[in-house]
A and B are shown apart, each in its own frame.
Chain A
Amino acid sequence: MMLSSVIRNLFSKPATRPFPVAVRTAPDGYRGAVEFEEDVCIYCGACATRCPANAICVDRVAKSLDFDPFKCVQCGACAEACKKGCVQLQIDYQHPVAAHSTVTFNGALKPPEAP
């Protein structure tokens, strides 16, 4: 009964992709890594209030935002809550890092430029 499948599988390509050679891109609207645009952010804290994983901590007085990518569950509640549209979910997944740390956004710190 499985014979037709076996013969078909012998002459067809594998269902999987050879990963480093063929990289799959996620479709539009995929909920990947969260990114903040600190130039637009007014540090209102709406995203921190809605976050179910407590991954965002906003200091409204000091105008700074701490984001813990390890707590983030990529639900997109922050992006929905943001009135300014400065929180976006990238199509790309969260990249691995060497050590557990939070990322602080306060307008002063710019991401280091690539060497």
Chain B
Amino acid sequence: MAQRTVIPFGPQHPVLPEPIQLKLTLKDEIVEEALPHIGYVHRGVEKAAERMDYTQNVFLVERICGICSFIHALCYCQGLERLMGLEVPRRAAYLRVIWSELHRLQSHHLWLGLYADAFGFESLFMEFWRSREMLMDIFEKTAGSRVIISACCIGGVRRDISDQHLQETLETLKMLEAAFDKSSEVMLNDYTVKKRTVGKGILPADKAILLGAAGPVLRASGVEQDARQTGFAAYDELRVEPVVETAGDCYARAKVRIRECRQSLDLVRRAIAGLPDTDIAVRPKGRPNGRTISRVEQPRGELLYFLAANGTQKLDRLRVRTPTFANVAPLVHMLPGCEVADVPVIVLSIDPCISCTER
């Protein structure tokens, strides 16, 4: 006789780096229902943004998420630039692409490591995180800090990357790629890894669209959608083709991210090769007025900022919609039917960033 049990998964769990609770209703070993609870790391960033100067908010929004701090700042600055009618110099747009793609690379490396850890592959976790250190060193050298790089400002970027640093970046990326080739091969072809990921947590394309999935979760289900196609920053010149897989399982989500890493490496190289020689920032004049929506592609999916300004130094409203929030509903759909031992792998396969989600 099968018994139903409710097991709380999280908010403190060895496999989850961030606090989300899933109440799992189990029938023996099989998950029947998952109920998510959030609210453990709410910091009131949106309210704080209404009380600060619009130029100071750049540093505030960067702190929403440490792993893609630059992309948050880029999304905010892009919205304000539209409100203030500022044309960002081309060099700044290219530098924004370089830092964005490096952030995507380091975020995916972080995730691939955590993912390997979720199915108990500690040595693969160490391999990915060792490679990630090279990227952190690039940030430290080019932007002055490892995590919150504070390189973006309204009207452009705060500092230029010298030719010497660009060369060093290219050399580091060469070493990174060699290490990534070895580690990603294990992630994609290893028998035990495939045993834990293939066919787990399947999300069909129609459900992915219906539930509003974003980023690699959406693309792994075969939907061709990437906010970089809208051509923000310098993506209008550096064209990006969305990386698409069709299986919609945990293995496909890992494969999308691995292929995106290669795409990012290619994009950084193309951006460095075509870096124009112009100014790096224009000075903002006047105060922002009006309403706008700014969209960018984060490592986890599409990030959306709604900005309402009133012609003063302070914003009326800043609304942030992060990709993990969009991916929680698909996650709840993926879990029923899986075994309880697969829950950590499936939860991690959406790359949850709860600090982003709760702001």
| Contact present for A77 and B59 (CB under 8 Å) | yes
| Contact present for A80 and B158 (CB under 8 Å) | yes
| Contact present for B144 and A50 (CB under 8 Å) | no
B-side contacts of A1, CB under 8 Å: 185-186, 189-190
For B190, give the chain A residue with the smallest CB separation: A1
Chain B residues numbered 116-155 whose CB sits less than 8 Å from any CB in chain A: 123-124, 127, 130, 133, 140-141, 144-145, 148, 150
| Contact present for A75 and B150 (CB under 8 Å) | yes
- Asked if B52 is an interface residue, CB under 8 A from chain A, the answer is yes
| Contact present for B123 and A74 (CB under 8 Å) | no
A5-B123, A5-B182, A6-B123 in contact; A76/B144 too (CB < 8 A)? yes
For B124, give the chain A residue with the smallest CB separation: A2
Q: Which among A15, A27, A77 is the interface contact of B133 at CB below 8 angstroms?
A: A15
B-side contacts of A77, CB under 8 Å: 56, 59
A 57-74 to B, binary, CB cutoff 8 A, 1 in contact else 0 = 000000000000000011
- A4 vs B127: C-alpha distance when bound (angstroms): 12
- Those 5 A-B pairs whose CB atoms lie nearest each other, nearest first: A52-B56, A52-B59, A31-B144, A27-B141, A75-B59
Q: Which among A4, A15, A26 is the interface contact of B130 at CB below 8 angstroms?
A: A15
Q: Which among A4, A50, A76 is the interface contact of B150 at CB below 8 angstroms?
A: A76
- A44 vs B159: C-alpha distance when bound (angstroms): 25
Q: Which among B127, B130, B145 is the interface contact of A74 at CB below 8 angstroms?
A: B145
B-side contacts of A73, CB under 8 Å: 59, 63, 148
Q: List 7 A-B contacts (CB under 8 A).
A: A1-B186, A2-B190, A29-B141, A30-B145, A52-B56, A76-B150, A80-B158
- Asked if B60 is an interface residue, CB under 8 A from chain A, the answer is yes
B135 CB to closest chain A CB (Å) equals 14
- A15 vs B190: C-alpha distance when bound (angstroms): 25
B119 CB to closest chain A CB (Å) equals 14
Residues of B in contact (CB 8 Å), total 27
B-side contacts of A89, CB under 8 Å: 144
Would you call the interface of chain A mostly helix, strand, loop, or mixed?
Answer: loop
- Asked if B55 is an interface residue, CB under 8 A from chain A, the answer is yes
A-side contacts of B55, CB under 8 Å: 50
B-side contacts of A74, CB under 8 Å: 145
A-side contacts of B133, CB under 8 Å: 15
A-side contacts of B145, CB under 8 Å: 30-31, 74
For B192, give the chain A residue with the smallest CB separation: A1
Q: Which among A2, A6, A30, A52 is the interface contact of B144 at CB below 8 angstroms?
A: A30
A-side contacts of B57, CB under 8 Å: 52
B 35-60 to A, binary, CB cutoff 8 A, 1 in contact else 0 = 00000000000000000110111111
A 7-42 to B, binary, CB cutoff 8 A, 1 in contact else 0 = 000000001000000000011011100000000000
- A91 vs B81: C-alpha distance when bound (angstroms): 32
Interface centre among B53, B58, B150, B190 (most CB of A within 10 A): B150
Q: Which among B53, B127, B140, B148 is the interface contact of A27 at CB below 8 angstroms?
A: B140
Q: Which among B148, B158, B159, B182 is the interface contact of A4 at CB below 8 angstroms?
A: B182
A2-B124, A52-B60 in contact; A29/B144 too (CB < 8 A)? yes
A52-B60, A75-B59 in contact; A31/B150 too (CB < 8 A)? yes
- A15 vs B126: C-alpha distance when bound (angstroms): 10
Q: A73-B59, A75-B148 are in contact. List 20 more A-B contacts (CB 8 A).
A: A1-B189, A2-B123, A4-B182, A5-B123, A6-B123, A15-B133, A26-B140, A29-B159, A30-B144, A30-B145, A31-B145, A50-B56, A51-B56, A52-B59, A53-B59, A75-B150, A76-B144, A76-B150, A80-B158, A89-B144
Interface centre among B130, B145, B148 (most CB of A within 10 A): B145
- A80 vs B153: C-alpha distance when bound (angstroms): 12
B234 CB to closest chain A CB (Å) equals 23
A-side contacts of B130, CB under 8 Å: 15
Q: Which among A5, A27, A31, A52 is the interface contact of B52 at CB below 8 angstroms?
A: A52
- A1 vs B123: C-alpha distance when bound (angstroms): 12
A57 CB to closest chain B CB (Å) equals 15
